[in-house]
Structure 1
Amino acid sequence: MAVITILGAGVMGSAMILPARDRGHEVRLVGTHLDQAIIDSAAKTGRHPRLNVKLPDGVKAFPYSDFAKALGNDTDLLILGVSSAGVGWAIERLCEALKDPVPVMMITKGLMPTDDTILPLPDFVHSEVKRRKGLALDLAAVGGPCIAGELAVRRQTGVVITSRTAGLAQKLCDMLATDYYHPRVSDDMEGVELCAAFKNFFAISVGWAQGQFEKAPKTENNAFNFNAASVIFDQAIAEMMVLARFLGGKDRSVWGMPGAGDLYVTCQAGRNSRLGRQLGLGLSYAEVKAGPMKDDTIEGAELGITLAPTLKRLMATGRLDAQSLPVTQALLTALTGNQKLDMPWDRLHRYT
């Protein structure tokens, strides 16, 4: 049995309790400063109010102020489950609480821009903790189609785990695999992390087709708009391939679970798809954030806004082929230029 500490009591971090406890590991759940109501509920009733499930017995819940206490000197694995917007906060907590290196598995999705490239988030966390604290952490990352609400009720789920530390990904697969949670090893940190982040971004464009459908006049045969959504979905895969190759990622991550698989489930529901629907209804991003999604954190939009200067610079200098990224450009224009999202149909699927 191992001791697993989870930092971040949101839906995904908390859903990881299920395979961990079902494998017999001790689990300590630590909330962020935004998770106090969840921690209180878990401590008093054993229920997670957002997942709407009773958590397995034996989970110990801690407020973020007790993170160091939860880690103790016996944590075998730290699962980082904060949102991408909270990764800076998480790095601060790691630097405050860690006395010795602890293996870290990141379910936080994101990418970090630099002047001339884009870093996988585990690499950024590693470099920051090393720079600030002098500790070299062994980090792994998870990608693939994993909806927290489904994992929380033990639905069949497949993911990949990748790490730059030899043997760590396989060790984590062995530690967490159950008859419903099926982790597999990947050696493609760049591709997995690119897909894990950009699937949220491109889900906005696929969701746009639903808004267009609702906005359009009804037809006599009550036709849907699945053709349009499918065309955009396929273009999104092609553009993820371009971006992954730029970072040195592998094609199989894009057409496999981290890319196509994760994009598929992300398009079914969630905040990124809902943003796309609102844009398809004709609202600008600013109007959506001022109105129907005022209080929502939309990770795909935040990623696009964060990476926009770097992506635009890479396209302007020719390091990224702008002609092969029409949906990327349309989304960046809508998210950063306060313009309505229009799909450049005549530029899609120009492979030759």
Structure 2
Amino acid sequence: MPTILFIGATGYIGGTVLAHLIQHPKRSDYEIIIHLRSAEKAKSFENLGFKTVLGSLDDAADLEKLTSESDIVFQTADADHLEGTKAILRGFKIRFQKTGIAPILIHTSGTGVLKDNAEGKYEGTDIYSDLDIPKIESLPDTQVHRIIDRTIVAAAEEEYARTWIVLPSTVWGLADSIFVKEGLQKPSSQQIPDRIKLNVRLGKAVYIGEGENVWPHVHIDEVGKFYRILFDAIVSGKQPASGRNGYYFLESGEYRQRDVVEVIAKALYARGKVASPEAIPLSEAGLDPESYRLVPVDTGTNSRARGERSRQLGWNPPQTTEDFYASIQADVDYLLKTH
């Protein structure tokens, strides 16, 4: 029976992807092994019928051995762990040399690889399509995720691995999978919740520069759906573009930084967590130097992507930017309840 090694199942994205994967009609054709750090959670996954193995991306030798025994690896744990990525690929090379069959890697990156240094001053004009490979390849190695993505593509070019790189954008919505219900999966995202928590800490909602910069967004359930669509295309022999051409952006629209902070400001003000319902520029916030440094520079960047190759596989996310803004109310309530 072919084996799937799943890395990152307790994460926000990973747990959702796994929940969609086990709904696939061919799920019973594969043995799924969950790679995770927690012995306690391992027992819970085993109670749900999964095999587990303890470890982390830092355990290079163990990871290399595991991947040398795996037909498919889902890596949803860390988009920037170079040594872990190299260990996975070393294991793949060993397996290929033994079997002559290239194993499959489905790796989670992100549209952060596209970000610029706008500092909130303007809406970026550089828009990347996942069909425009030369433009993606023009990104310098200094971009976040880029070296890892290139390392993966290089393995595919050497033909000892078949690789697909999935690049979600700002992922939103509270996850609602079986693994959330079992207490095994992180239910909330990072980018917007981190912004909410920061604004609560500062007592005001702030944005960088003029707040003109733009990012794409995608609902967490649509991320899970895409991985299932991609997996189905791979195992059914449809040969979706892979390797050098195997980049897949996930987005269903775009949002402006200032607009999202304004939504957060109103939600937090209604709950008595900030002094004003208005979002203000960081430069006018009157913060002390220590508080000023808490605001991530990344919130002033542009990242503009079009998931055209993703949609060619039949993925069609219906959510709008207004849906994204509306979801912030639930994020605020969840964070205020749990933090």
TM-score, with length taken from structure 2: 0.45
More helix by share: 1
Using the size of structure 1 for normalisation, the TM-score is 0.44
